[in-house]
């Protein structure tokens, strides 16, 4: 888990701008948040049973979900909740 946390920290650092996170598994989520020095999370809402949408003080969205929760579409629903229009096709005329 420490290696995963370091890899996520490096990926976030290499990205320009805020990066939203979807973290599954309680201990894994805690390690990643620790590696990113996230010490405060404010609840925003629930995506579905067990998947909680939170916000960091700098405005980043974080969704945590226990590893055993959710149906086969759980992660897709979470991504759609974070970026509701990113999967819609934009039509120009």
pTM of the complete model: 0.79
- What does the pLDDT look like over 5-60, one tens digit per residue? 888 888 888 887 778 899 988 888 999 999 999 999 999 999 998 899 999 998 88
Q: Is the pLDDT of residue 85 over 70?
A: no
Residue 50's nearest CA partner among 80, 75, 33, 31 is 75
User: When comparing pLDDT for 67 and 89, which is higher?
Assistant: 67
Q: What is the dihedral of CA 16, 20, 22, 28, to 10 degrees?
A: 60
User: When comparing pLDDT for 59 and 70, which is higher?
Assistant: 59
Residues sharing a CB contact under 8 Å with residue 40, sequence separation 6 or more, in sequence order: 56, 57
């Amino acid at each position: 888990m420490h290696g995963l946390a370091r890899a996520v920290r490096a990926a976030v650092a290499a990205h320009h701008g805020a990066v939203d996170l979807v973290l599954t598994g309680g201990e894994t989520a805690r390690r990643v948040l620790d590696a990113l020095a996230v010490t405060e999370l404010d609840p925003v809402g629930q995506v579905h049973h067990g998947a909680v949408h939170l916000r960091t003080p700098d405005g980043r969205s974080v969704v945590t979900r226990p590893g055993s929760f959710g149906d086969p579409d759980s992660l897709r629903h979470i991504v759609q909740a974070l970026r509701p229009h990113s999967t819609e096709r934009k039509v120009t005329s």
